[in-house]
Structure 1
Amino acid sequence: MKKSFLFISCDEAKHICDKAQYDEASTWEQFKLRLRLMYCNISKKYSSNNTKLSQTIEKSKVQCLKTDELNKLQSQFDKELAKQQQD
């Protein structure tokens, strides 16, 4: 099947949508995505849900573990796992 120069598949649109969310999509990719969003309801819905998810995560102000806390948790997990494997 011949790949189109201007029109993209739904899968490619999803990939570009993800890239655009993190400002990694080129201008040409964004143009092709916008073109796809004009006629594809599936891609529109994916893009809309992707935007809502990003906004929800930003509003939640999730705090991640610091590196030293993460390392400590990992070492505790490894110790418990070793105990379980010995039994």
Structure 2
Amino acid sequence: MKFFLKCGEAAIVCDKVQYKEAGTMARFMLRAHILICRPCRGYSEQNVKLTKTIRSAKLSALCPERKQLLKKRIREELDKERLL
């Protein structure tokens, strides 16, 4: 078993950590890697900021019915434009 991640592997583990999909050993190996690798440390910090920003935005999506209604209205308007 290897104990040092390559940068590409570290990025993948970093993404998994953000979504709570990484195991204990992977998190440990990532921490060891970002202690040594400045670019990966920056990537990890950006990931954390992005996740916090998205969570604080409290985004919501349209319900499927409303989405279908909007699509229908857009199609109707486009059809009207084509007839002119």
Q: What TM-score do you get using the length of structure 2 for normalisation?
A: 0.78
2:77 pairs with 1:67: no
> Given the alignment of the two structures, is residue 23 of structure 1 paired with residue 20 of structure 2, yes or no?
yes
- Matching residue's letter, 1:46: Y
Worse-matched range after superposition: 67-76 or 23-32: 67-76
Structure 2, gaps ≥5 residues long: none
Instruction: Give the structure 1 partner of residue 40 of structure 2.
Output: 43
Q: Say whether 1:33 aligns with 2:33.
A: no
Whose Rg is larger? 2
Between the aligned partners of 2:56 and 2:11, the Cα distance in structure 1 is 23
Stretch moving more, 58-67 or 20-29: 58-67
- CA separation in 1, counterparts of 2:21 and 2:69? 33
Runs of 4+ aligned structure 1 residues displaced above 4 Å come to 74-77
RMSD: 2.2
Whole-Å separation in 1 of the counterparts to 2:37 and 2:73:
49
- Scaled by the length of structure 1, what TM-score is found? 0.76
1:66 deviates by 1.3
Whole-Å Cα distance in 2 between the matches of residues 29 and 76 of structure 1? Answer: 49
